[in-house]
Amino acid sequence: MAFKAENIQVLYKIMQLLEGDQSDTLESSISDAMEILIREFKAESGALWLKNRDSQHIYSIVSIGDANITGFSIENGQGLIGAACESFEPVVIYDVSGDDRFPAGKDEITGIEVKNILLMPMQLRKEVIGCVEIFNRTDNEKYSEDDISLIHSFAGLASLLMDEKGYSYAPDVNKKPIMSLRGITKDYPSGLEVAHILKGIDLDIFENELLVILGESGCGKSTLLNIIGGMDSPTGGKISFDGRDFSRPSTKELVDFRRDSIGFIFQAYNLMPNLTALENVQFIAELCKHSGSAKEAIDMVGLSDRANNYPSMMSGGQQQRVSIARAIVKRPRIILADEPTAALDFSTGQEVLELIERLISEKITTVVMVTHNVEIAKMANRVVRVRNGKISSIRINSWPMHAADLVW
Amino acid sequence: MPTKQKSSGLKEIVEREAEVMLGLRGDEVYGELDKEYENAVQKAEEELAKGKSELDDAVKLFNDTDVAAQEQIKDGEEKIKTLRETAEKEIAEAERKIEKGEKEYKTLLEEGEKQLADAKVQMEDELEKYREKLSEGRLELEKAEKTLKEKEAEYSAGKEKLLKGKEELDKGWEEYYSALRQIDKKLNDSIIDQIIRLLRAIIDPYDSAVDTDDELIDSNIDMIVDELIEMTDPTYYEIEELIDKLEGCKGRGTVSRCSAVLRIYDDLTSGLSRSVKKDFEKRMGIDEFRKGLNKLKEAIKTLDDYQKQYDQGKEQLEEARSQLDQGWAAFEDGERQLKEGQAEFDSKEAEARQQLEDAQNEYEQKKADGAKQLKNAKAQLSSKSAEADSTLKDLEEELKKAKEEYAVQKEDGEKKISEATQQYEDAKREADEKLSELKAQIDNMKSAAINPIVQTRDVNFPYVQTKSFIKALGGFFGVFTPLYAAIIAIVCFFTMTIIISEQTSQIGTCKAFGMHESEIMRKYLVFGVSAALIGALTGVQGAFAIEKFLINTMKSNMAFPMDNTGHDIIMIILLPAMEVFITVLAVLWSCHRYIRCSAVGLISGNEPVARYRKKAGGSISKSIYLNLIINNLFTDIGREVVSVVTIVVCVFLVGFGIDIKLAYEGALGRQMHDIWQYDITLTESGTITDEEKEAVKQALAPYDTLYLPITAGVISDGDSQILTSMICVDDKDEFARFYVLKNPKGKNTDVFDDGVLVTKEMLDKNGLSTGSTVSLVSEDLKYSDVTVKDIFMLYAGKTMIMTSDYYRERFGNDPVSNTYYIKAGETGGAATLKERLSELPGVSSVELTSNLRDRNLAVVNVYNAVVVIVILFSVMLSFMILLNLSNILVAHRMRELLTMRVNGFYDAQVIGYLTREVIMTVTLAVVTALAVGLPVTGIIIKSIETDAFMFVRQPYFFAWTASVVINVLFSAIINFIAFRKVNKVPLTDISKY
């Protein structure tokens, strides 16, 4: 199997990513490597599907590109994916128009518009354990033999890695989406032009999960967080919250939403400097419909002995704990945390993350966290990477790390 | 008091000098008096000569006017004559034109009637011709209809016949089909199939197509067996041929099929025919079947003939029907044409008759119009004629009136000339009398002794007034200048501090780029000093403008011009210098505070550290809001103090401004309405004659009046002299009806027989206490000591009240009544009465009590101006300070406010949080302002009172309520402006604060 020089470089990068940092989660490594692959073929999106023997289902464990495919599953043998996961040969369709497996040009399972598609089976020894899906190549080029070899190699390496790490995807099938975002766009006037900050985001936020949004500065992750938190409104797209359409809420609905359904943890804590820790929590608790006890919230974050201290008398970590207590006292559906550890040193940052981990493990609420720190993403249930106003990848951490084990 | 000693020494010198001069210059003075007398004689002669000259001019003017009036009357008479002639000529011309018009009208009427008659005859002829044509058409149509109906009857008979034939034909066909069905029953495709099956069974009983369970085969098994027994090869082929032939018979019509099968039957060979024929015969009854079939064939021939006949008949009938239909269509067409013709005729007849009627109407209209025009012309002529007559009559009437008026005016003129001549004579006589009287007075003076009295400038009214103004303004600005200086200091310091505090990031950047502290400080010093200098220069310029404005307001009331008054250069320099100094101080202080911090801390905003509470402690209240607000106030104590001070100053200044205005006007009001119970004061002239006195008395007879002596006096208290009015009272009860005397405690007091009453103002300002004795100089320059018995409330003017007996006792002569207090009665009557009384001879002045305010208008205007300036500047300064403070409050709290909004506080709740803090600040400030402002205002008011005027010194509730309301509203507006931005900051900016 002879590779072109460029493909050798790509394969080398992929191998580095898959085998490089041992501390990375498997999903994270595969996600990064697959991103390279998708970029190489100028495809809009891609996904990695994995079979599960117990449930007799195939699950999408990594999703790359515009289309969000994570969380989808199909029965073994069903549809094109099912067929690809039974076969040893790749399936390539250069034009799906007229193909009855793509009604109205859309994928039957995901409902995503498809123009062209490649499905490469993931073979492990003599068994097919899943497949790699690449679709909507924008350059409309045909896959050369060399390209197919490259994708085949990626599929093989990914299979070996899974086998080596004893990876098995165990989906939580009972997860319900609290909020769904579809085709979310956000434009801002920038001088005489319009800056497109978000360019069509599809995202589900599930109950009791820690969703981490990663991305470089200016990629749109904070804007996305603001839209989720009702602090900003999208230019286009649909939002549903608890199954209800929440795309164009009135001002009152928006305030009530922030008041009763969303908790906030800020990087700079944003406490009222002239209220004690307890009063800071009470101040918000008195506002909400279904708030909990402020004292219990303070107890939960371990600040009972400092309840009557003013923020200026507390360390950054303690202030951030008050901030968390203030968020959880509302009993919100989602807590939004914007770089909660950015202003803290390692150990206090870790304490704060442990507290957030506890919120998830005790099923208290869902946390959506924006961070620059890729290490923190390892404790997330799902990691959404935003790039240039779009979701470039979503990966599921089957075995998220504990906050105490993180090192940065 | 060196100045007072100096003035006292001067007075003594002047008094001594006066006595010496009187001794030395006595003759000289008398000579001057004689000279004055001669001058008076000369002046009187000149005045009389002038009067005589004016009288002569009036006589000349009268004569000239008389001649001119006579000429105008003559012109009028001629004009009327010309007008009459012109009118008569025009009326004659108009009558001639009307006559001509009447003739033309009659001719036109005759022509019109003839044309109408001709048109009617022509129309009737044409209509008759049309009517005849229509009758002819109608007759032809009736004829055609009759023919058509006859043919229609013939057609109906034919049709009936045809229908009968059809019935018979249908019956024949029915019978035919019945027979055909019977034949078909006997031999149809099914039966042929049965035969074929049998035949097949015969030739091949084991063929798979042969069903062994077939009932037909079972029932004919014998026949089949027979045939099989005798079956030979040829027979076999014959049967096969027979089967083919029979197959060919299937699917045909009944007759054709049956004929074909009969033919096959007839052709059956002998070898085969035995059993098969038997079977045929058995099934069909061949002979009978053949007969039936032949009968059918014949019947169908007959029926075909009948059918043809019927079809022919039907065709003929249809043709006849078509012809009839055409005939009817032609008839209907004719009928339609006739109807159209009739309709056209009707329409044309109506049209023609309408045209004729229109022409008739037009003719009648024109006839009526002509008649009307003629009538109008006649009426117009009559009206014009009447109008001309009326105009001429009016003119004649006017002329008559003018003549009468001329006579009256002439008589009046003659009378006035006579009166003027009489007046001249009277004036001459009066002048002679006065000159004689003057001569007598001079002679009397020469024989009397002279006592000199030196009056100091204290009894010079313009001096006293100017001094009062200076004192009032000095007192006013003595209080407000330091106050304003303090406000300006706060503004400068605070504004500069704010500007620099907003530059922390830039200072940090400068530090990070390596600028020395001195360089950074220099930068802001240059900025601060240049801003302060620009402000100072603008302020000085503004101060000059305000000074000019105040001088313009006051100068009408001043005794001397104030245009080129000097300026206090030190003060002009001092205040701007202070402003620059404060600014520099603020820059140094602020820069020092920020420069000490690290560059990173300044850029990130973490330094200097905010002074929040650093001690844990129990909450002040159970309400979190209240705790939060109180803690906020303590945290931000600097801003809070400046806010409170600013509001206190603003409440004080506005309250004071309104209070002082009300206090001044209140004093005037109390004097005019509560103390003076009369409406008018009439003062007789010093030279009033007895007759004039009598005339005044007569004029005032219908009114309630009090006649009493009021003179000017001078209280000489050591070196000081006080100009005062002296009122002498004969009847205390009567006086009490016109003048309410109350002591400062508000209790009634009375005029004493053994002393005088003086005003509260004299008590306060001139030190005349109860029981003291003062030296009084009367108007006729007599000295006496009087005792002050009590004090009474009077706001405007210095007044001393005593009984006439006491005056007589102290000065040795009776006071001469010269003043009336008059109650004018009905409202509005006072002004009219004043006008009337002013015209009386011997009256020096008539004043309405309500004019007191007008007389003090200059002072009122000054206070109005000062109050406006004070309030305006207070508001401007406070606005700047409070807006800055509110903006700082919002800026400092923005993170908290955004956090609240993000956490679901409504916009109103967020504003409410800030508003509670502002309410607390404003309440604190208002309470302080009232606690300090009320007593201070009392003190200031006392210090700025002018001489001979006392303000109402009690605080005015309205003034302070208004001040509080204004300031609360003012704070609300400022905070509304500042707080507006709170809800406009996007929530997404929370990370920026």
Query: What are the extents of the domains in chain B?
Result: 79-409, 458-609, 668-851
Which residues of chain A approach chain B closer than 8 Å at the C-beta?
Answer: 222-223, 226, 229, 231-232, 255-260, 262, 264, 266-268, 270-276, 279, 282-284, 286-288, 308-313, 326, 330, 338
Residue type, B238: E
Pairing of strands B756-759, B799-803: antiparallel
B612–A338 CB contact, under 8 Å: no
B991–A264 CB contact, under 8 Å: no
Dihedral (CA of B790, B791, B793, B795) sign: positive
A258–B903 CB contact, under 8 Å: yes
Nearest CB partner across the interface for B904, out of A222, A287, A309: A287
Q: How many residues does chain B have?
A: 993
Helix B2-186 × helix B286-447 angle, to 10°:
170
Beta strands in A236-349 (DSSP E): 236-241, 244-245, 262-265, 334-338
Those residues with Cβ within 8 angstroms of residue B207's Cβ, 6 or more apart along the chain or in another chain? B200
| B619–A contact, CB cutoff 8 A | yes
Nearest CB partner across the interface for B987, out of A231, A260, A279: A231
Query: Vertex B444, ends B440 and B447: CA angle to 5°?
Result: 145
| 3-state SS assignment for residue B203 | helix
pLDDT 10s digits, B350-376: 888 888 888 888 888 888 888 888 888
CA distance B982 to chain A (A): 15
CA end-to-end distance (rounded Å), chain A: 41
| B626–A contact, CB cutoff 8 A | no
Domain ranges, ordered by start, for chain A: 5-165, 177-405
How many Å apart are CA A44 and CA A67, to the nearest integer?
Answer: 8
- Tell me which chain A residues have a C-beta less than 8 angstroms from the C-beta of B617: 308
A309–B624 CB contact, under 8 Å: no
- Tell me which chain B residues have a C-beta less than 8 angstroms from the C-beta of A326: 903
The predicted structure's pLDDT at residue B254: 81
B899–A266 CB contact, under 8 Å: yes
Nearest CA in chain B to A259: B904
Residue type, B696: V
CA distance B627 to chain A (A): 8
Closest CA to A64 of A288, A384, A400, A392: A392
CA B314 to chain centre: 96
pLDDT 10s digits, B527-541: 999 998 998 899 889
Closest CA to B704 of B660, B730, B737: B737
On average, the pLDDT of chain A sits at: 87
Which of B902, B914, B983, B984 best tests the A interface by mutation, with the highest count of A CBs <10 A?
B902
- Tell me which chain A residues have a C-beta less than 8 angstroms from the C-beta of B615: 310, 313
| B985–A contact, CB cutoff 8 A | no
Nearest CB partner across the interface for A231, out of B610, B612, B902: B902
Do residues B281 and B270 make contact, with C-beta atoms less than 8 angstroms apart?
A: no
Pairing of strands A43-52, A57-65: antiparallel
pLDDT 10s digits, A371-389: 888 888 889 988 888 888 8
The predicted structure's pLDDT at residue B712: 87
Q: Let me know if A232 is exposed, middle or buried by CB neighbors in 10 A (0-12, 13-18, 19+).
A: buried
pLDDT 10s digits, A312-368: 889 888 999 999 999 999 999 999 999 998 888 888 889 899 999 999 988 889 999
Which of A226, A232, A270 best tests the B interface by mutation, with the highest count of B CBs <10 A?
A270
Tell me which residues of chain B have a pLDDT lower than 50: 1-6
A309–B616 CB contact, under 8 Å: yes
Nearest CB partner across the interface for A279, out of B614, B624, B906: B624
How many Å apart are CA A237 and CA B938, to the nearest integer?
Answer: 71
Do residues B950 and B667 make contact, with C-beta atoms less than 8 angstroms apart?
A: yes
Inter-chain contacts counted by CB atoms under 8 A, chains A and B:
97
Q: Which two tokens stand for residue A4?
A: 């072109």
Q: Let me know if A179 is exposed, middle or buried by CB neighbors in 10 A (0-12, 13-18, 19+).
A: buried
Those residues with Cβ within 8 angstroms of residue B235's Cβ, 6 or more apart along the chain or in another chain? B227, B271, B272
Closest CA to B610 of B884, B896, B985: B896
- Tell me which chain A residues have a C-beta less than 8 angstroms from the C-beta of B616: 276, 308-310, 313
B904–A313 CB contact, under 8 Å: no
Nearest CA in chain B to A329: B903
Which of A223, A259, A267, A310 best tests the B interface by mutation, with the highest count of B CBs <10 A?
A310
Pairing of strands B720-729, B799-803: parallel
CA distance A317 to chain B (A): 17
Q: Let me know if A200 is exposed, middle or buried by CB neighbors in 10 A (0-12, 13-18, 19+).
A: middle
How many Å apart are CA B667 and CA B670, to the nearest integer?
Answer: 5
CA distance A326 to chain B (A): 10
Do residues A293 and A238 make contact, with C-beta atoms less than 8 angstroms apart?
A: no
A275–B631 CB contact, under 8 Å: yes
How many Å apart are CA A343 and CA B681, to the nearest integer?
Answer: 89
| 3-state SS assignment for residue B807 | helix
| B614–A contact, CB cutoff 8 A | yes
B988–A259 CB contact, under 8 Å: no
How many Å apart are CA B181 and CA B187, to the nearest integer?
Answer: 10
Nearest CB partner across the interface for A310, out of B613, B624, B899: B613
Neighbours of A143 (CB within 10 A): 19
B608: cis peptide before it, omega within 30°?
A: yes
- Tell me which chain B residues have a C-beta less than 8 angstroms from the C-beta of A308: 616-618
Pairing of strands A366-371, A334-338: parallel
Tell me which residues of chain A have a pLDDT lower than 70: 1-5, 20-24, 108, 170-174, 398
| B902–A contact, CB cutoff 8 A | yes
Q: How far is CA A81 from CA A103, A152, B732, B781, in A?
A: 15, 16, 125, 133
Q: Which residues does residue B788 pair with via DSSP β-bridges, in sequence order?
A: B756
Question: What is the DSSP code (8-state) at residue A301?
Answer: T
The predicted structure's pLDDT at residue B619: 59
Which of B609, B897, B899, B905 best tests the A interface by mutation, with the highest count of A CBs <10 A?
B899
Pairing of strands A390-396, A57-65: antiparallel
CA B628 to chain centre: 45
- Tell me which chain B residues have a C-beta less than 8 angstroms from the C-beta of A260: 904
Q: What is the CA radius of gyration of chain B?
A: 69
| B632–A contact, CB cutoff 8 A | yes
Dihedral through CA A174, CA A177, CA A182, CA A184, nearest 10? -140
Q: What are phi and psi of A234, to 5 degrees?
A: -75, 155
A268–B612 CB contact, under 8 Å: no
How many Å apart are CA B449 and CA A183, to the nearest integer?
Answer: 121
Do residues A177 and A208 make contact, with C-beta atoms less than 8 angstroms apart?
A: no
CA distance A386 to chain B (A): 18
B614–A310 CB contact, under 8 Å: yes
Closest CA to A354 of A384, A328, A330, A321: A321
- State the number of CA atoms in the 13 A half-sphere of B639 facing the CB: 22
Long-range contacts, stretch B497-500, CB < 8 angstroms, 24+ apart? B497/B586, B497/B589, B497/B590, B498/B884, B498/B888, B500/B524, B500/B586, B500/B587, B500/B590, B500/B591, B500/B594
Q: Which two tokens stand for residue B293?
A: 């079939």
DSSP result, B879-908: HHHHHHHHHHHHHHHHHHHHHHHHTT--HH
Q: How far is CA B340 from CA A108, B345, B346, B363, B643, in A?
A: 78, 8, 10, 33, 104
CA distance B198 to chain A (A): 59
Closest CA to B932 of B900, B897, B960, B968: B960
CATH fold for the domain made of A5-165: Beta-Lactamase (3.30.450)
Q: How far is CA B931 from CA A228, B870, B940, in A?
A: 54, 20, 15
How many Å apart are CA A380 and CA A214, to the nearest integer?
Answer: 11
- Tell me which chain A residues have a C-beta less than 8 angstroms from the C-beta of B986: 231-232
B899–A270 CB contact, under 8 Å: yes
Pairing of strands A366-371, A210-215: parallel
Nearest CA in chain A to B897: A272
Q: What is the CA radius of gyration of chain A?
A: 23
Those residues with Cβ within 8 angstroms of residue B814's Cβ, 6 or more apart along the chain or in another chain? B804, B807, B808
| B988–A contact, CB cutoff 8 A | yes
Do residues A328 and A297 make contact, with C-beta atoms less than 8 angstroms apart?
A: yes
The predicted structure's pLDDT at residue B451: 62
| B892–A contact, CB cutoff 8 A | no
Residue type, A373: N
| B896–A contact, CB cutoff 8 A | yes
Q: What are phi and psi of A187, to 5 degrees?
A: -115, 145
The predicted structure's pLDDT at residue B942: 82
Which CATH class name applies to A177-405? alpha beta
How many Å apart are CA B792 and CA B759, to the nearest integer?
Answer: 5
Nearest CB partner across the interface for A231, out of B895, B896, B988: B988
- Tell me which chain A residues have a C-beta less than 8 angstroms from the C-beta of B618: 308
